[in-house]
Structure 1
Amino acid sequence: MSADIRPIARALLSVSDKTGLVPFAQALAEKGIALVSTGGTRKALAQAGLEVSDVSDLTGFPEMMDGRVKTLHPGVHGGILAIRDDAGHRASMDAHNILPIDLVVVNLYPFEATVAAGAGYDDCVENIDIGGPAMIRAAAKNHADVAVVVDPSSYATVLADLNDKGGTTLATRRKLAQLAYARTATYDGAIASWFAEVEAKEDAGEGAGAAAESRVFGGRLAEALRYGENPHQSAAFYVGGPARPGVATARQLQGKALSYNNLNDTDAAFEAVAEFDPARAPAVVIVKHANPCGVAEGETLVEAYRKALACDPTSAFGGIVALNRTLDAEAARAIVDIFTEVIVAPDATEEAAAIIATKKNLRLLVTGALPDPRGGGRLVKSLAGGYLVQSRDNAVVDDMTLKVVTQRAPTEAELADLAFAFRVVKHVKSNAIVYAKGLATVGIGAGQMSRVDSARIAAHKARDAAAAAGMAEPLTRGSVVASDAFFPFADGLVTAIEAGATAVIQPGGSIRDTDVIAAADAAGIAMVFTGVRHFRH
C-alpha cells in the first residue's frame, strides 16, 4: 500500500441529511469498518440492520442537554486529531483508551433551511450546530490521516478509493478537507449574516444590516461554466444566501447548458417580470444584455409577448423571455418563431414543453414560484480589494404615494401606464428612460451617461420599431414616460415631450424641479413624483 494511503478501521457518522446514508454505511460495514454514530443517525443505521456503536461508548458519557453535548469529548476529538505516526500521540491514545477514527461523516443541522422557512429566533438558534463543525474542522486539519465527508455527493469518492486502493488517498483527503472548510465557512457565514439581519431589524429596520462590522459570503458550486462574459475568462455558478425563486432554484427542462451571460440575463429578466402580479394580468419581459428590451401585460401571455416583442424586435433576437405565469402552448409557439436563448417561467404545460423541445438548444427553466419584489436580502458587488453590499431595491410603485406636481393630473389610463413604466424602469440600467403605452413598453433607453441621451435613444428605437412594422408614426405618440431618477434639466423632459409623451413619472428632488415642472405645464402634460429613485448600475 502506498505511503499516502490511509486504511479506514472506524468511521463516525452523524448526519442531518440522510440521503444515501444507509447504502454508504452498508458498503463500509461490508469492508469490515466499525461504525460509530449518534442520535437519529444511529437509529436509522440500526433499523437498517447494521451493527453500530453509540458515540457514548467512546466518551463514557451519554448525550445530554437535549443533544447539545454528545461529541465534544477527548474520546472523539482525540481519535480524530491524533497524528498516527507521532509516538507521543499514540501514547496518549493508549493511556486514555482513545480509539482512532479514520473517517468522519458529518453534515450539519439545517440552519439555512430553518431560517428560509421563517422559523422563530429560538428555533434558528437551536439549529446552530456546534459539535458538527468541531468534528469537521478537526478531521480536515488532520487530513494527513483522516478523511472527512460533509455531503452525500462525496460518498462515491470515498468508496471508489476503498475499492481501488484499500484506503483513502492523500489527494482525496485534501480535496475532502477543502470541501469541509468551505462548508463550515459557508455555514458560519450564514449564521453571522442572520445575526446581522436580526440586529439590523431591531436597531434600525430593514436595510441597516449592510453595515455590519464584518461580512462573510459563501456559496456552493452549482456548475462550472465553460467561460465567463468572454471566452478568455473563467467562471463558475455558486448557490448560496437566502432562498429566492430564480435561476438558483430553477429546474432546466431542456436545452444546452447555461452560460455565464445566460444566467446573468435570466436573473435580470425573472426579477423584472416578478414586478407584475400574476393575479392582475399575464406579463412578459424580454431581456438582452441584462436590460429589458420589451415588457408588456396582456389579456393572455401570447398577447403580452407580442406587445413586448413589438417594442424592439431587433434586440429581442437571441434574448431571454421571462413570464409571470405558467407557459402555455400558444405563447410557446409565438416565442419559438424567433431565436431565443432562454425561457423562464414559474411552470410550463406539457404541451408548451413539447413545443419548446422542437428547439433542442433553447433552454426552458421552471422555478415553481416568482420572487417577491418586496423581499429582502443583500446584493454584493466586488471591487478591487473589497465588496459593496446593499439591501435589495424592494421599493414597489404600488406602495408609493404619487404626487401630482403639474396643473394637469394624469388620466386613469395614463396612471395605469405610469405605474407600469415605473415598474419597468426599476430594472433598466441607469440612466434609464422608458416610454409605455397600453401597458407595454414602446421605447427603452438604457445605460447612458446623460439622461437626455437615454430619452433620445428610446425615442429613436421607437421610430425604428414603427418603421419596421409599417406604422406611420412611433408608438411614443400618446405614451407616458418614466425616468429612474430626477431630470437634472428640462432638456430630457423636452425630448420626451417631442417624442409624444403626454405624462411623466419620476422621483423628483432636483434643484431644478421648478424648471422641469414649468416645461411640463407649458406643454400641457401631466407629471407625478414618486419620491423614490431606482438607480441600477
Structure 2
Amino acid sequence: MTDRIDLRRALISVSDKQGLVDFAKALASRGVELLSTGGTAKALRDAGLDVRDVADVTGFPEMMDGRVKTLHPAVHGGLLALRDNAEHRASMEEHGVAPIDLLVVNLYPFEETVAKGAAYDDCIENIDIGGPAMIRAAAKNHAYVTTVVDVQDYDAVLAELDANGGATTLPFRKRMAQAAYARTAAYDAAVSTWMAQAIGEETPRRRAFAGTLAQSLRYGENPHQAAAFYTDGSARPGVATARQWQGKELSYNNINDTDAAFELVAEFTEGPAVAIIKHANPCGVARAETLEQAYRRAFDCDRTSAFGGIVALNGRLDAPTARAIAEIFTEVVIAPEADDEAREIFAAKKNLRLLTTGGLPDARAGGLTFRQVAGGFLVQTRDNGHVTQADLRVVTKRQPSEAELADLMFAWTVAKHVKSNAIVYARDRATVGIGAGQMSRVDSTRIGRRKSEDMAEALGLAAPLTEGAAVASDAFFPFADGIEALAAAGARAVIQPGGSMRDEEVIAAADRLGLAMVFTGQRHFRH
C-alpha cells in the first residue's frame, strides 16, 4: 500500500448539502478537479465552481428519475482500480477510466423519511443504491481512495491535506474507510428494520442494530470498563435527546439511571409526578397537586437511598421544586422543561446535571429493546402494556374501595419499573415501601416493609405507612406466604397478575386475612 496519495480528483454527490460549498471551494483552491451529479453539481455551479458532470464521464445521462447515474465502470473503475497493478492500469488506459482520489457521499435521507411517518412507497424511493455502492467501493480501495460520508469530517480532510502537502496518508484513509463501512451498515440496518416492521415480520432471520456516537464515556459501570454512548436516531424524548444545562458529563450509570427514571415518570400523564431512582430502581415515586409536593412525598419514601440519586419530573421544573431538590445532593434532574428561576437555583450546584427534553416519551409506544448474551442477543418489543380499572378482576370477598383502587393502579404502574421480584407499597398516590430485585418475592415484601418502618422512625410517625397500604406485585404470588407477609405489614389491598397454580390458596389466604385482591392478567417482569 502507498502511504501518501496526492488528491487530484474528487467525486462529490451529497443529499445533505450543509457545508458543501465551502468544502468544495477549499478543494478547488488546492487544485482538485470536481466531479458531481444532479442537485449537487447545480449547487456547486451556482456557487461559481467549475464542475464536471458524471454523465460526461460515463457517456450516459442520468435516467429513471436519477435511479441510475453512477453505476458505471467509468465511476467504479476510478474508485476500485489498484494503481500499482499493471493490468488495472492497462484497463484504465484502454477504456478511458481516470482515477478518483476522493469520494464525498452522504446518503438519501431514508431514516428521516421513516421518522416523518412517510408512506411505504416514499420510504422505498429514499433507499439509496448508487451511494452505498460507491462508498463500499471507495472504502475497500482505501489504499488509494479517501472516503467521506459525514459532513463533520470535511474539516478533517482539509487539515489532512494541509498537513501533507495536498496528499492523504494511509492511516487517515483507513479511519475514513472504517467510518464509511459503519455508515453503510447503519443505513442497511435502518432499511431492514423498517421493512421488517412494514411487512409485519416480527422475527426476521437476521436482525441488525446501529447507532451514532454521542459521547465517549470516562468508563462503564466500573472504572476498568471502556464505554461509549450511542444514539439510535429516534425522536423519543429522553436522555439521548436531552439538552444538558449544567454539570459535568454524564457517566454510564448516570445515563442508565436517568433513562429508567424518565421512562417511569412518563407513565403519569395526568397531574404532577416525580420519580427518584437509585441504581435503576425507584426509591420513591409520588403524584400530588404540585411537583414540589410530589417530590417531597417521593423523597419521604426512602430518604437515605435518595441521596445521590436521579430525579425525574413529568412537568416543567419550577423554583419551589428546584429548591426542594437542592436540599440534598442529587446527581441528575431530568424534566421536559425548566424555568429560568429553577435553572438559576441549580446553577449554584455545580455537580448537579440538569437535563430538559422538550417532552415526555410515550409510555404506550412500541419499539424494540435488546440485550446481549453470550453468543447472541435477545430482542423483544418494549413493555408498553398497561391496564385500566375496567380490566381488573376482583377475586376476593372484600371489594377494594375507590381510594384503594386508585392506589392499586398507582402501585401497579410503579411496579412495572422495579426490578423483579418487585413489591411496591403505596398510600395516597405515593410509594411508602419498595422491595426490588430479590430472589424471593417474600424477601421483597419484607424489605419494602422494613424500609417503611425505618422511614416512619426517621419521620417520627407512630406507625409505618404500610399500615393500610395498597400493594402491587409485578408477577403472581406462588405461595400464600407472600400474602401473609403483606398482611403482617398492614397492607389492605393487593394487585397482582394472577395465574399461579396456587391462586386458590393465595385467594383463600387473602380472604382469611381480610385483604381485597385484584388480578390484572398481565405481568411486568423487569430483569
Give the TM bin, normalised by the shorter chain: over 0.9
Q: Deviations over 1:440-496 (max 9, x none)?
A: 110000000010100000000011111111111111111100000000011111111
Question: Does the aligned pair in 1 maintain the 2:389–2:409 contact within 8 Å?
Answer: no
Kindly indicate whether residue 88 of structure 2 is the aligned counterpart of residue 89 of structure 1.
yes
- Residues 18 and 151 of structure 2 are in contact (CA less than 8 Å); yes or no, is this contact kept in structure 1? yes
Matched, 1:444 2:434: yes
Quick one: distance in 2 between partners of 1:492 and 1:213?
42
Which digits, 9 at most, give the CA deviation of each residue in 1:322-380, with x for residues without a partner? Answer: 11112111111111111000111112112211211111121111111211111111111
Q: Distance in 2 between matches of 1:348 and 1:38?
A: 46
Partner Cα distance (1:534, 1:400) in 2:
18
Displacement of 1:198 in angstroms is: 2.2
- Residue in 1 aligned with 2:316? 326
- Is 2:280 the counterpart of 1:281? no
CA contact (8 A) 2:237 2:361 kept: yes
Question: Compared with structure 1, are the counterparts of its residues 504 and 418 closer, same or farther at alpha carbon in structure 2 (3 Å cutoff)?
Answer: same
Q: CA deviation at 1:400?
A: 6.7
Match of 1:516 in 2: 506
CA distance in 2, matches of 1:495, 1:535: 21
**Deviation of the 1:390 alpha carbon:** 0.9
- State whether residues 212 and 233 of structure 2, in contact with CA within 8 Å, keep that contact through their aligned partners in structure 1: no
Q: Distance in 2 between matches of 1:196 and 1:20?
A: 35
Alpha-carbon distance in 2 for matches of 1:13, 1:344: 42
1:155 CA drift (Å): 1.0
Describe the superposition over 1:294-316 as per-residue Cα deviations: whole angstroms up to 9, x where unpaired: 00111111111111101001000
Return the alpha-carbon distance in structure 1 between the equivalents of residues 382 and 176 of structure 2: 35
Secondary structure at the residue paired with 2:300? Answer: helix
Q: Residue in 1 aligned with 2:468? A: 478
Query: Cα distance, 1:15 vs. partner?
Result: 1.4
Question: Could you say which residue in structure 1 is the equivalent of 2:210?
Answer: 218
Residue in structure 2 matched with residue 200 of structure 1 by the alignment? 200
The CA distance in 1 between the partners of 2:21 and 2:427, in whole Å, is 61
Shift of residue 149, structure 1, vs aligned partner: 0.6
Does the aligned pair in 1 maintain the 2:432–2:465 contact within 8 Å? yes
Check conservation: 1:82, 1:90, Cα contact below 8 A. yes
CA distance in 1, matches of 2:389, 2:18: 44
Residues 409-448 of structure 1 correspond to what in structure 2 (within 5 A)? 409-448=399-438
Q: Do residues 231 (structure 1) and 230 (structure 2) align?
A: no
Distance in 1 between residues matched to 2:460 and 2:46, nearest whole Å: 74
Q: Distance in 2 between matches of 1:163 and 1:400?
A: 70
Superposed displacement of residue 223, structure 1: 1.2
TM-score where L is the length of structure 2: 0.97
Check the 8 A contact 1:436/1:479 in 2, yes or no: yes
Aligned match of 2:29: 30
| Pair 500,7 (structure 1): closer, same or farther in 2 beyond 3 Å | same
What is the deviation of 1:397?
A: 2.6
After superposition, where does 1:105-116 map in structure 2 within 5 Å? 105-116=104-115
Q: How far 1:47 moved relative to its partner?
A: 2.2
Residues in 2 aligned to 1:479 and 1:10: alpha-carbon distance in whole angstroms: 75
* Alignment partner, residue 272 of structure 1: 264
TM-score under structure 1 length normalisation: 0.96
The aligned residue for residue 205 of structure 1 is: none
Q: Which moved more, 1:304-313 or 1:514-523?
A: 514-523
Aligned residues of 1:373 and 1:396 also touching (Cα < 8 A): no
The amino acid of 2:364's aligned partner reads R
Task: Report the Cα offset of residue 151 of structure 1.
Answer: 0.4
Could you tell me how far 1:532 is from its partner in structure 2? 0.4
Indicate which of 347, 368, 379 corresponds to 1:357.
Answer: 347
Q: Residues 24-58 of structure 1: CA distance to partner in whole angstroms, max 9, x if unpaired?
A: 11111111111112222222222222222222121
Partner residue of 2:175?
175
**Which residue number corresponds to residue 299 of structure 1?**
289
Cα RMSD (Å)? 1.4
Query: Which residue type is aligned with residue 181 of structure 1?
Result: Y
Letter matched to residue 186 of structure 2? T
- Where does residue 15 of structure 2 map in the other structure? 16
Task: Describe the SS at the equivalent of 2:223.
Answer: coil
Letter in 2 for 1:88: E
Partners of 1:177 and 1:143 lie apart in 2 by 6
The residue type equivalent to 2:239 in the other structure is V
Query: Does the Cα contact within 8 Å between 1:35 and 1:53 map onto a contact in 2?
Result: yes
Letter in structure 2 aligned against 1:406: T
For residues 62 and 494 of structure 1, the distance between their equivalents in structure 2, rounded to whole angstroms, comes to: 81
Give the drift of 1:399. 8.2
Is the partner of 1:410 in helix, strand or coil? coil
Q: Contact 1:242 / 1:377 at 8 angstroms: preserved in 2?
A: no
Deviation at 1:241, TM superposition (A): 5.9
Match runs of 1:309-324 below 5 Å: 309-324=299-314
Q: Which amino acid aligns with 1:105?
A: V
The reply to whether residue 254 of structure 1 matches residue 233 of structure 2 is no
Query: Contact 1:103/1:148 (CA < 8 Å) preserved in 2?
Result: yes
Map of 2:70 onto structure 1: 71
User: What is the one-letter code of the residue matched to 2:315?
Assistant: R
